[in-house]
Structure formats: structure tokens, C-alpha cells
A and B are shown apart, each in its own frame.
Chain A
Amino acid sequence: MTAKLLVDASYFVVAVLFILGLKAMASPVTARKGIVWAGIGMVVATLVTFFTPGMQNFGLIILAIVIGGVAAWWSGKVVKMTDMPQMVAIYNGMGGGAAAAIAALEFARGGVHGIVFTTLATLGALIGAVSFSGSCVAFAKLQGLMNKAWRLPAQNAVNIVLALVTVLVGVGIVVSGDPTPTQIITFFVLSLVLGVIITLPIGGADMPVVISLFNAFTGLAVGFEGYVLGIPALIIAGIVVGAAGTLLTQLMAKAMNRPITNILFSPITGEAQAGSGPTGTMKECSSMDAASMMRYAQKVIIVPGYGMAVAGAQHKVYEMTKLLEEAGVEVKFAIHPVAGRMPGHMNVLLAEAGVPYEQIFDLEEINEEFSQADVALVIGANDVVNPVARTDKTSPIYGMPILNADKAQNVIVIKRGKGAGYSGIENALFFEENCRLCYGSAQGVVSEMIGHVKSLS
């Protein structure tokens, strides 16, 4: 009895720590404290769980924690900052998988009784399994293991039919009350396939929103399984994350001007605008020309994109920024809400390179200023500066807010090759009169520019 009381009281404290932690993480000043609080909560929760009455199999539990914990700790430590989004995706998928496995085990040992419990266990299993397999696909795509967007013929119809069948099997489980192993296995297989099928056709540009959606899913699944197991800490943490994740998903989708239903059911594809590519020619320029243009400019706005991050050029870019400032040039960074692979990802990457916050501006803050800038330097960004989003109603990205880099006197684009952007759409900006392209990896080109700027000083 006292053990039970101790465990329950500890879980209560844990729930409070989680909420306070999340709250603190919502402000830059307290964010670091927030994760520490939540971390303490997690350690307490894990430790007191060993004192739950009636527990056995301690050896296995500890072994499993060590295996999962060490592997994830290590992979999280060594991963590069640019690869963070897929790591979040895979860890999130594992949480979903754990929730689904909990449901599976509860069914296997016949521990779920009553319609409410069965319904929630089944729902949690479905959502968790979809989140698991979907996140794995998201991981594979962002990691570059799977480059193409795969679309089945009549994709939406297939999705809907599969979803309906899965739900029907789920209803069967709930109604029967005492499901057979065949029912359970069929249900899990269908749920896993559903997660894969939903995620496969989604293009890389939409991936952040999808990861966020799966994050909310996992939260819900955890909350439901928490109810089934009668652990309020799980319910609270799960549902808080479910709600927060849903809101975060909406914020992200809004930043891209793509309703969530669009992302899931009509993914961006390059074919959509096959007939009407931009006309004109792309004009190249040398890093020397580009460097002198910036050196003698009044104002330069840098638009960094994921390409810069992949090339690891953010430190070089900041070095060049400092040189230009010493020469009396005003330099600002313009960040699109979905630059990088997740909202805020680019800010993290620039912060890593040491760029001060005061120099970094959001889309709304800086968009008016492009017309006063002598040079807009676009580094490895593409879709977020594509003016067709403003003008071409037939374009799949029409309506997405973009950075008005094309309004600057001169636009210099550093680009690895002549290919289209992440969404597969040709960029009309590159064909504009005031635009020059510098081909090469961001790291190499910016290093050259630094040399040239120095030689001009």
C-alpha cells in the first residue's frame, strides 16, 4: 500500500515537472531549464516505476532500458545539427512503436476488459503503429535513403480504403471483447502498412509538418495507453503533447500556407506544372564578381537555406559577414519560417555558428527591406524565394509566403547544380534579369568569396 502511494505521488510530481518543463521551453530565456526539469521528471518516473507492486522480470527491464537508452543517447550525441529533424522523427516513431507494443502485450495477456478500455487500447495501438511506421519512412526520406516520392495510382482511394478496413478490423476487436490472435495481428499489420502508405508520397518539403503531426499522434497514443494502464502521468504527458503537437503542426502548416489535408492528400509534385516552365536564361557569375558586388554594397541581405546547412557553410558565411561589416556594409539574415527542414531549424544552425540574434530576421520583419538592399545573397535556398508563389496560380506552391529576394537590386544565388528545388519546381527567380548564379558547394564558394573580399579591403 505504501509503495503504491509512493509511486502515485511521484507520478504526480513528474506530471507537474513535465508541464513546467514544456512551459519553460516555450521561452528562449528559460528553455534550457525546461528540458532539465523534464529530464529530472523522466528519471524520477523511471526509478519509481520499479517499485510498482507486483512487478517482475526486472532483469529484462533493465537490459532493455540499457540497450534502448544507450543506443539512442549515443546516436543523439553524434548526429550532426543538420540531421536533427530525422532524429526527432525516428525517436518519435519509437515512442509510437512502444505505445503500440504496450497495447499488443495487454491484448496478448488478456488484460483489457470493457468497451472503454478496449476502444482506447485499440485506438492507441492504431495511432501508435501509424506513427511508428510513418516516422520510419520520414526518417528514411530525410536521411536520403529514399529519394523519390512514391505515388500509387489512385493513392487517395487506396489510403481511404485501407484506413476504413483498418478501422473496421479495430471495431471488430472492440465489439468481440475477446479478440483472437488473428484479429490482433491483422490489425497491427494493417496499421503499420497504413503509416507507410500515407507517408510515402509526401515530398521532402512537407516532411517537417508530417513529423510534427506524428509527434502529436504519438502523444495521443501514449495518453490512451496510459488510460488503459491506469497511469495518470502517461495520460497527462501524452495528451499535453498531443494538444501541443497539434497546435505546432497547425503553426507550421500555416507558415507554408498548406492546409494539413493538402499535405496528406495532394502532395507537391514537379509534374503539376510541366507545361509552363519559366523562360529566359540563367546567368552565371564568378565568386570574384559576387564578392566585389557585396564589398561595395550598402546593404546585403543573406537568405540561408538547407543547402547552406548541408554544406556546413554557416561558419564561413558568418566569417564573411564579419568581414563585410568591417568594410562598412550592413548585413542581415532573412529566415523563412520553414527554412531548413523544420521551423526554427535555421535559427538553431545560425546560432551554432555564432550569428547574433539581432542580425536574424523573420519573414514579416524583413520582407519590406529587400527593395532597399543592394544585394540579396541566396545560399542553398530555393523554393522559399521562388516568386511564382506570388504570381502563378497554377503552381503547387502558389500562395506560400516567400522572401522577396527578387526585389533586391542584385540577387546572387549560390547553388550546387542546375537542378530544381526540394519540391521539384523550377525557380523563376534564377531566370530574372537581376539574378546571377554562382555554382559550387556553399562551403567552397563562400571560402572563395572571403578571399576576394579580403583582397578588396
Chain B
Amino acid sequence: MEALYIFMLAAFTGYEVIARVPVILHTPLMSGSNFVHGVVLVGAMVVLGHADPEDPLQLAIGFIAVVLGAANAAGGYVVTERMLAMFTKKN
């Protein structure tokens, strides 16, 4: 039940944050939100951390999860940073 409240409040927050965005920032913002869900890395680390060290299948799935999560976070950051860097150059 508690989680339901978190879901609802988070959904409103997400909506509010984006509601008044100039078009020029749509792409960087999409990229930025792509980076934020890279926090899935944390979840991947936790499941790999609790996987049975004797079970190669579990380790393999967990390993893939962490590689993918890390790529989402790192790639998302670099790409967003590069886009936004252009917007501050001349101000």
C-alpha cells in the first residue's frame, strides 16, 4: 500500500517536472531521463550480489544485468552531458 503512494507521487512529480519544457530541451531531457533510469544498475548489483555463487546460470544473468545497467548509466550520462554542454557555451 505504501508503495502505491510512492508510485502515485512519483508519477505526479515526473509529470510536473516536464510540463513546461521548451522544445529545444526535449532531446536533452529525453536523454537525461534515460540516464536517470540507469539507476537500474543499483538493482542489478543487488540481485547479482545475492545470487548463488555456486550457480553459473544465476551469475550469468546477474552479470548481464549489471553490464547492461552500467552501460545505461554511463552512456546516458556522457551523451546528455555532451548535448547540454552546447547550451551553456554562449551564455
**A residues with CB within 8 A of B:** 11, 14, 18-19, 21-23, 25-29, 31-32, 34-35, 38-39, 41-42, 45-46, 49-50, 52, 54-58, 60-61, 63-73, 75-77, 79, 81, 84-85, 87-88, 90-92, 94-95, 97-99, 101-102, 104-106, 108-109, 111, 211-212, 215, 218-219, 222-223, 225-227, 229, 231-245, 247-248, 251-252, 255, 337, 340, 342-345, 347-348, 351-352, 354, 356-357, 360, 362
User: Are A225's CB and B43's CB within 8 A?
Assistant: yes
Contacts of B10 in A (CB 8 A): 223, 235-236, 238-240, 243
CA distance A352 to B24 in the complex (A): 13
A31-B87, A73-B78, A102-B40 known; A232 vs B6 contact (CB < 8 Å): yes
Q: List 21 A-B contacts (CB under 8 A).
A: A60-B59, A65-B41, A76-B75, A76-B79, A88-B34, A95-B69, A98-B66, A101-B64, A105-B48, A105-B62, A109-B51, A222-B40, A225-B43, A231-B42, A233-B39, A240-B33, A248-B30, A248-B33, A344-B28, A348-B24, A348-B28
CA distance A85 to B31 in the complex (A): 9
Contacts of A362 in B (CB 8 A): 23
CA distance A400 to B66 in the complex (A): 42
CA distance A97 to B68 in the complex (A): 7
User: Are B72's CB and A98's CB within 8 A?
Assistant: yes
Contacts of A56 in B (CB 8 A): 49-50, 53
* In-complex Cβ contact of B69 among A68, A240, A360 (8 A): A68
CA distance A235 to B14 in the complex (A): 12
**B residues with CB within 8 A of A:** 3, 6-7, 10-15, 17-53, 55, 57-59, 61-91
Contacts of A27 in B (CB 8 A): 22, 25
User: Are A94's CB and B62's CB within 8 A?
Assistant: no
Contacts of A60 in B (CB 8 A): 48, 59, 62-63, 66
CA distance A106 to B62 in the complex (A): 9
CA distance A354 to B75 in the complex (A): 25
CA distance A60 to B14 in the complex (A): 34
* In-complex Cβ contact of B43 among A84, A226, A244, A343 (8 A): A226
Q: Give the residue name and chain of the B residue nearest to A78 (CB).
A: B78
Contacts of B18 in A (CB 8 A): 22, 26, 243-244, 247-248
User: Are A242's CB and B11's CB within 8 A?
Assistant: yes
| CB-CB nearest 4 A-B residue pairs | A243-B14, A76-B78, A68-B70, A72-B75
Contacts of A71 in B (CB 8 A): 71
* In-complex Cβ contact of A344 among B12, B24, B49 (8 A): B24
